Structure 1
Amino acid sequence: MSIVLFLAGVIFVAVGIAASIALHEVGHLVPAKLFKVRVTQYMIGFGPTIFSRRKGETEYGVKALPLGGYVSMVGMFPPGKNDDGEGSVRQSSTGMFQQLAADARQAAAEQLQPGDEDRVFYKLSIWKRIVIMLGGPVMNLIIGIVMFAVLIMGFGSAQATTTVSDVSRCVIPVSQQEETGQTDCAPGDPTAPAYEAGLQPGDRIVGFDGREVTSWEQLSAWIRDTAGQEVPISYIRDGETITATIEPLLTERPIPDVDGRAKLNEDGTPVMQEVGFVGVGPQSELVPQPASEVMPAVGDSLVRVTGVVLNLPQRVAQVAEAAFSDAPRDPNGPISVVGVGRIAGEVSAMEEIPFEARAATLVGLVGGVNLALFVFNLIPLLPLDGGHVAGALWEGLRRTVARVFRKPDPGPFDMAKLLPLTYVMVVLLMGMGALLIYADIVKPVNLFG
């Protein structure tokens, strides 16, 4: 059964990512057709064509390598200029890079048919070209928002309850854990107050120090503030209310942030404080949240993804070090679709976790992948969508400067000149993808201990 569940999780995420890629290309296709650009192909994947069908002037199909997709539009590159300044395809070049650009222009010119003169991409206004190129990433953003809305409003977010999940037998100071690596109780370690008071997993705490307990955050704050004081605690077990006395132990613990995570110092270590501690952990349950919580959650995810993208060379280097050494893999670093599929399979196969929680995690994975695709495609380098947007903005800037200073219109920016850089980027992206896949096979990210 676990294998079936594992495969089900992998298939769910694979289909979700494939649909996301298809919709990304739809984001380019629809505005291109609205702006009357002739679209010759809409393809999912690369390499040999497995299936295709022509509808009107566009061929729609699926290719063998599921590594992305593309929409082919006529006139992506403007014609070059000969010595007399007239637009034409250059017949000669002075070097390999110039020849690459000339060949690309020649291939673009060969796509043209009678009547395409005003249907080429490079003749569109700047804003129309930007809309077409941003259509794909924006589609990923929309998918991500929808997935997060389903996750947060439908399934809900995990919230700590007042029901006990685990009870520690002893208290091990954090400093002692860091110095010795100790995780199990040893002779001489003080008994955890909750264990001494008789609390067990499944008990629901309803009272503390004579006050009604309504949330785990409230209870935690009271425990932190009553170190060294004997206070009554009430909990329900099997329908019976039990009252005991508990004395929170003063010990050094991480200070939680507003989101429940530990606050960190500048060096990345947790901020510690001596507070009351009893040694219990809460059970969590999914609680649907209002629509107002969706966009803040999307924003937080975008900030984290942007941080990874901005430090991508360093992060990829860390992945390479981990893949070829004994160094640990950073769970917050980049992963490939193989890694995402593996995580999806592991989550799906965890039968001890409620089905609702597993389904929510899979939906969150698909949403997170789409937000990552949105940010990654905005990188202002070809062949990414952000590179085309940058080229259009540069052209607009050049033409604006020319108008201001009453100089001749410089004409469309020749993106073909950037093909050498594009090929370098393609090689780097393929190498990064291969490295991440290899790392996800030999040293996968471990999110579950």
Structure 2
Amino acid sequence: MTVIAFVLGVALLVVGLAISIALHEIGHLVPAKAFGVRVGRYMIGFGPTLWSRRFGETEYGVKALPLGGYISMAGMYPPSPESGSHRAPGADEVRGVDVRVGAEGDAALSAGEGRSTGRFFAAMVQDARTANEETLVGEGDRPFFYQLPVLKRVVVMLGGPVMNLLLAMVFFGIAVTGIGVQTATTTIAAVSACALPAGSAQTDCTPHDPASPAAAAGLQPGDVIVSVAGTPVDTFAQASEIIQASPGRALTVVVDRDGRQQTLQVTPMLAERQVAGPDGRPQTAEVGFVGMTATVEYVHQPLWAGPQAALAQTGQVVGIMWQLPVRVYQTAVDIVTGQARDPNSPMSVVGAGRLAGEVAAGDAPVLNRIAGILSVLGALNIALFVFNLIPLLPLDGGHVVVALWDGAKRTVAKLFRRPPPRPVDATRLVPVTFVVVIALILMGGVLMLADIVNPVQLLG
């Protein structure tokens, strides 16, 4: 493992993550502006601002910690019930609240002063409401976020996660369609002169070694396998499957040699060889063996292969995400006991960076390593997509639930011909948001520690 290649892989992961965060925020920013909501800030990262510039009404910038990002939308929450300033949507006098919607779904309210230590959560709610009363004054007929129709609010909040899903499709698409998948083709690369035992260190044949079935049958490098035992084959894997299942049985092999088809007879011998086990990992088994290898080429997959790979990965991540607390707990146990981590264990950004570095520093061809890093970035964006859909504040999914609940209340009132209800006072959920944030910080800390002291071993 070369240090330079490892560092380059980590750097590519960081750049790709920054792009993912930036586009996540674009997914929130564009529909918010399209629906007329004032967006005060668009920031990549957290902490001290390194660079910023204002274009129109929005300040764009980069902060010191590239672990997320946010946009600030005017009027994410309605005025507090006690303020008495609630008006129908579109009223100029309505005061909104300037909140931050981040790549991790963060919605941050300005902290109030004078918290009561005996009533911590009650003080948090009051702080949020106080911040609400000190927010921006509406400009003309422009709506605040909470005044938008439910569907538009959902579109704004889902814009970020959907952008991550689309970006994952792009990363996977470049990997499998643009670069291609290394595939053993039906073209024979080499034919063994003799049959050597599995795992033998011997490289040259001796007069006592039996001729390989492929050599005895007259197969030659450059032959293109057309069919085996009457079955047409498109890949070397299909030919190998028939051969491995037929030890001691004469097989008819049709090959294309210099543009002309030839029919040969080959009888696979029984031998111990490495084959793929049920879990996809190599294992030793007695199978049919003829002694030939295939030419490996990059095969470009169809355009829909990238989206298919992203959706398949999404299903796997969903299966992991709903068990996240249990899996994080098991990861903590593995740290204490020293047991190897489950390959399906969740990873932090540290783990993803380490994996990207190992891929970049591997012995595989350069295109393979590039495709590997793209796949890591694709998987990371799928994780962001699924994670942000969890229906808890401060995640994007939590804001969607608030919007849907608001819409449900209005629908019920309309059905029963009641006066329109007040908008949902999401500031009441600030204590829940606080608990969720603390839980996420703790789980993230456990995963980061595990990725340092007991990383997932995916590359052996």
Interval containing the TM-score (normalised by the shorter chain) = 0.7 to 0.9
1:72 positional shift? 0.9
TM-score (norm: length of structure 2): 0.77
Are the aligned partners of 1:233 and 1:246 in contact in 2 as well (CA < 8 Å)?
no
Secondary structure of the structure 1 residue equivalent to 2:387: helix
Amino acid at match of 1:44: I
Q: For the structure 1 residues 223 and 56, does the alpha-carbon distance in structure 2 shift closer, same or farther, using more than 3 Å as the test?
A: same
The verdict on how the C-alpha distance between 1:343 and 1:169 changes in structure 2, with shifts beyond 3 A counting, is farther
User: For residue 13 of structure 1, what is the amino acid of its counterpart?
Assistant: L
2:393 to 382, 389, 392: 382
1:197 equivalent in alignment to 2:209: no
The equivalent residue for 1:220 is: 240
In structure 2, the residue matched to 1:249 is 270
> Does 2:364 match 1:353?
yes
Give the CA RMSD over aligned residues: 4.1
CA contact (8 A) 2:49 2:61 kept: yes
Q: Write the distance in 1 (CA, Å) between the matches of 2:177 and 2:20.
A: 21
- Give 1:247 deviation, angstroms: 3.5
The aligned residue for residue 103 of structure 1 is: 127
Three-state SS of the structure 2 residue aligned to 1:4 is helix
Q: What residue identity is the alignment partner of 1:369?
A: L
Match of residue 442 from structure 2: 431
1:160 equivalent to 2:175? Answer no
Q: Which residue of 2 aligns with 1:139?
A: 163
* CA shift for structure 1 position 198: 7.7
Residues 180-230 of structure 1, C-alpha deviation per residue, up to 9 Å, x if partnerless?
A: xxxx78xxxxxxxx9972879x96775687778752232123224423335
Between Structure 1 and Structure 2, how many residues are aligned?
415
Tell me the CA shift for residue 431 of structure 1: 1.4
Instruction: Please say which of residues 314-323 and 6-15 is displaced more in the overlay.
Output: 314-323
For residue 221 of structure 1, what is the amino acid of its counterpart? E
Query: What's the counterpart of residue 69 of structure 2?
Result: 69
Once the two structures are superposed, the pairs formed by residues 10-409 of structure 1 within 5 Å of their partners are 10-82=10-82, 95-113=119-137, 115=139, 118-162=142-186, 170=197, 197=212, 215-229=235-249, 246-249=267-270, 263=278, 276=288, 284-350=296-362, 352-409=363-420
Structure 1 SS opposite 2:449: helix
Q: Which amino acid aligns with 2:236?
A: W
Bigger Cα displacement from structure 2, 389-398 vs 75-84: 75-84
| Residues 269 and 421 of structure 1, relative CA distance in 2, 3 Å threshold | farther
Confirm or deny: 8 A CA contact 1:205 1:213 kept in the other structure. no
Distance of 1:286 and 1:109 partners within structure 2: 61
> 1:82 is paired with a residue of what secondary structure?
helix
Does the Cα contact within 8 Å between 1:224 and 1:275 map onto a contact in 2? yes
- 8 A Cα contact 2:8 2:357, kept in partner: yes
C-alpha distance in structure 2 between counterparts of 1:315 and 1:289, whole Å = 34
Partner amino acid for 1:197? Answer: S
Residues of 2 paired with 1:111 and 1:84: CA distance?
Answer: 15
Superposition deviation, residue 436 in structure 1: 1.2
Q: What is the CA–CA distance in structure 2 between the aligned matches of 1:301 and 1:86, rounded to whole Å? A: 45
Indicate how the Cα distance of structure 1 residues 291 and 83 shifts in structure 2: closer, same or farther if over 3 A, else same. closer
The alpha-carbon distance between structure 1 residues 165 and 417, as it changes in their structure 2 partners (threshold 3 A), is: farther
**Corresponding residue of 1:445:** 456
In the TM superposition, what whole-angstrom CA distance separates every residue of 1:293-325 from its partner, at most 9, and x where no partner exists?
233222211111111112212221222122222
The alpha carbon displacement at 1:327 in A equals 1.5
Partner amino acid for 1:438? Answer: L
User: C-alpha distance in 1, partners of 2:85/2:26?
Assistant: 37
Question: Alignment partner of 1:408: what SS?
Answer: coil
Kindly tell me: are residues 105 and 165 of structure 1, through their superposed partners in 2, closer, same or farther at Cα, counting changes over 3 Å? Answer: farther
CA–CA distance in structure 1, aligned partners of residues 285 and 299 of structure 2: 30
C-alpha displacement at 1:287, in angstroms? 0.7
- CA distance in 1 between counterparts of 2:349 and 2:446 reads 12
Q: Residue type of the partner of 1:249? A: L
1:278–1:198 CA distance, 2 compared to 1 (3 A): closer
CA distance, structure 1, for counterparts of residue 165 and residue 319 of structure 2: 17
Residue identity in the other structure for 2:419: P
Q: What displacement does 1:17 show?
A: 0.5
Whole-Å Cα distance in 1 between the matches of residues 164 and 287 of structure 2?
45
C-alpha distance in structure 2 between counterparts of 1:291 and 1:226, whole Å: 36
CA contact (8 A) 1:197 1:246 kept: no
The 1:300–1:349 alpha-carbon spacing in structure 2 relative to 1, beyond 3 Å, is: same
**TM-score normalised to structure 1 length:** 0.79
Distance 1:62 1:195 in 2: 68
Aligned mates of 2:32, 2:234 — CA distance in 1: 55
SS at match of 1:23: helix
SS at match of 2:304: helix
Q: Which residues of structure 2 form unaligned runs of 5+?
A: 88-94, 97-114, 201-208, 257-261
Structure 2 CA distance for partners of 1:252 and 1:394, relative to 1, 3 Å:
farther
Q: Please, which runs of 5 or more residues in structure 1 have no aligned partner?
A: 172-183, 186-193, 255-260
1: distance between equivalents of 2:376 and 2:444? 19
| Conservation of the 8 A alpha-carbon contact between 1:197 and 1:245 | no
Q: Counterparts of 1:390 and 1:83 in 2: how far apart (Å)? A: 25
Q: Calculate percent identity across the aligned residue pairs.
A: 45
Name the aligned partner's letter for residue 249 of structure 2: Q
